[in-house]
Structure 1
Amino acid sequence: MTDTLPLHADNLHKSYGGKPALKGVSVSLKAGEMVALLGPNGAGKSTLLQLLTGLFSPDQGTVVVMGHDMQRHPSRALASLGVVFQQTALDMDLPVMANLLFHTDLHGLPRAVAKQRIEAGLARMGLADQAKTVVRSLSGGTRRKVELVRALLHEPRVLLMDEATVGLDPASRQQLLDTVRGLCAERGMAVLWATHLIEETKVADRLVLLHQGSVRFDGSIEAFMQASQGGDFQTEVLRALEKPGIG
């Protein structure tokens, strides 16, 4: 079963200095599915993303990407992952094109293929005229768009977004959401969108509520509302995060 899923994380535990950050978290993504990982700051979202991307190893549990175990075969697993972290990973003093070519070089893409994908990616995000622009001179929203272009250059099957809209204005935030939502449909890509903003989860196929290192709910928004007490979506999310479980 797990081999057929783009991403499957099972029973993940992680502690720092004896303090649990994740307590047996499991999450799976299906092809073409956008899953919203929602939780307040400190819920464990970033820790989960760090384990899913192989930056840290879990104390217990497994992460499998396209059938490849992250701990046993990290290079194979990472080849199918695209990531946009909360903190920018771009070199601020290099032009956009240089940043993107560095990424394609890491993935071993021939230069001709790389440049073709970069040009197409920048055009898609409305950044065709920004290739020679130094990253530091770009707005926060434009930098996020560049990071998304970079994350997609090696055509990953799984895209992880860690609080990717922090600091963006509403228009830029919505454009990023719409673009990622479209990629799910067009490429069959699986997306895990980690956020603390309730309104961002409404476009997702599935909702995962994470609080204090544990999953409080995992299912469709429709199922979540059916199991609720009849309030509006935001009220019910906040209520779910205040009690041991839901549904």
Structure 2
Amino acid sequence: MTIAPQSRAPVAPSEPALSVTGVTHTFGARKALDDVTLEAPRGAFTALVGQNGAGKTTLFSLITRLYDNRSGTIRVLGHDVRRDPAAALSQLGVVFQSRTLDLELTVLQNLLYHAALHGIGRREAKERAYVALRRVSLEGRAKDRVRALSGGQMRRVEIARALLHQPSLLLLDEPTTGLDIGSRRTLIEEVRRLIDEDGIGVLWATHLVDEIEVADRVVVLHKGRVMADGTVDELRARAGAEDVGAAFLAVVGADDAEGVVLARRASA
């Protein structure tokens, strides 16, 4: 079953899923982000790589309007998040680092509640919920309480929830934190399949460089600044490194790489 997308203003084909330009953000005297500029193309996996405290979650909070960006511009499919937040956020699906499901409700009840917040009627919401759960291979768990799910299954429910309003951009903030190797692999495969099948743009924040594939775009965020931005091959070439982990070390300095897992992949 195909569900017709909600009516939205047309977007130029050249418009990226996300465009961040010259964004600085401070907490008192501490500068959390310093003149950050980056893009996440449509139909692509963009990895935002940095250690804990690099500014990844602050950036996500600005994109989603949890914080107000008082400098620079942030656009989602061409819509400025400050000037036209409703249009921007309607194109955006989010999976936050901290889990936000209600453990006492069923999987379906969690999804229906989220759909109601987006103004989707109950009948259509139920149809969309089952479609989204099939996308993440969890349709058989719709009536189970969330508390009964594994950590990896909860993450997949959160992705299904984020897809209910059919966004064009999906933000995931350290989504594999606390998951075992098998659950991590399954989650990453599900997200990459969404890119291939739906052309959705993905910004995946992580400190695990083994989650990056050769075809991905990589943005290295370090101490609030973008230190590198490009394809995996471009990053390796500029750093004179044989893999992503070594390239990260070259960009930020070995002494500053604490907390970033530099495991190598044969494909990288």
TM-score normalised by the shorter chain: which range applies? over 0.9
Q: TM-score, normalised by structure 1?
A: 0.93
160-169 vs 50-59, which deviates more?
50-59
Q: Name the structure 1 match of 2:263.
A: none
Q: How far is the alpha carbon of 1:3 from its aligned partner? A: 7.8
Q: Name the structure 1 match of 2:33.
A: 22
Q: Name the structure 1 match of 2:8.
A: none
Q: Name the structure 2 match of 1:121.
A: 132
Counterpart residue type for residue 195 of structure 2: C
Q: How far is the alpha carbon of 1:2 from its aligned partner? A: 10
Task: Kindly report the root-mean-square deviation, in angstroms, between the aligned alpha carbons of the 2 structures.
Answer: 1.7
| Structure 1, unpaired ranges of 5+ | none
Q: 1:197 aligns with which of 188, 204, 208?
A: 208
Counterpart residue type for residue 44 of structure 1: G
Counterpart residue type for residue 102 of structure 1: Y
Find out whether 1:64 has 2:75 as its counterpart: yes
Cα distance in 1 for partners of 2:215, 2:65 equals 25
Q: How far is the alpha carbon of 1:126 from its aligned partner? A: 2.2
Cα distance in 1 for partners of 2:214, 2:193 equals 11
Cα distance in 1 for partners of 2:76, 2:244 equals 32
Q: Name the structure 2 match of 1:184.
A: 195
Counterpart residue type for residue 183 of structure 2: S
Q: TM-score, normalised by structure 2?
A: 0.86
Find out whether 1:146 has 2:157 as its counterpart: yes
Q: How far is the alpha carbon of 1:49 from its aligned partner? A: 0.6
Q: Name the structure 2 match of 1:81.
A: 92
Counterpart residue type for residue 125 of structure 1: V
Please list, as runs of the form range in 1=range in 2, the aligned pairs for 1:30-69 lying within 5 A after superposition.
Answer: 30-69=41-80
Cα distance in 2 for partners of 1:231, 1:33 equals 23
Find out whether 1:160 has 2:175 as its counterpart: no
Describe the superposition over 1:78-109 as per-residue Cα deviations: whole angstroms up to 9, x where unpaired.
10000000001111221111110011111122
Q: How far is the alpha carbon of 1:187 from its aligned partner? A: 1.0
Contact 1:31 1:189 in 2 (8 A): yes
The percent of aligned pairs where both chains have the same amino acid is 44
SS at match of 2:108: helix
Count of aligned pairs = 243
Distance 1:196 1:70, change over 3 A: same
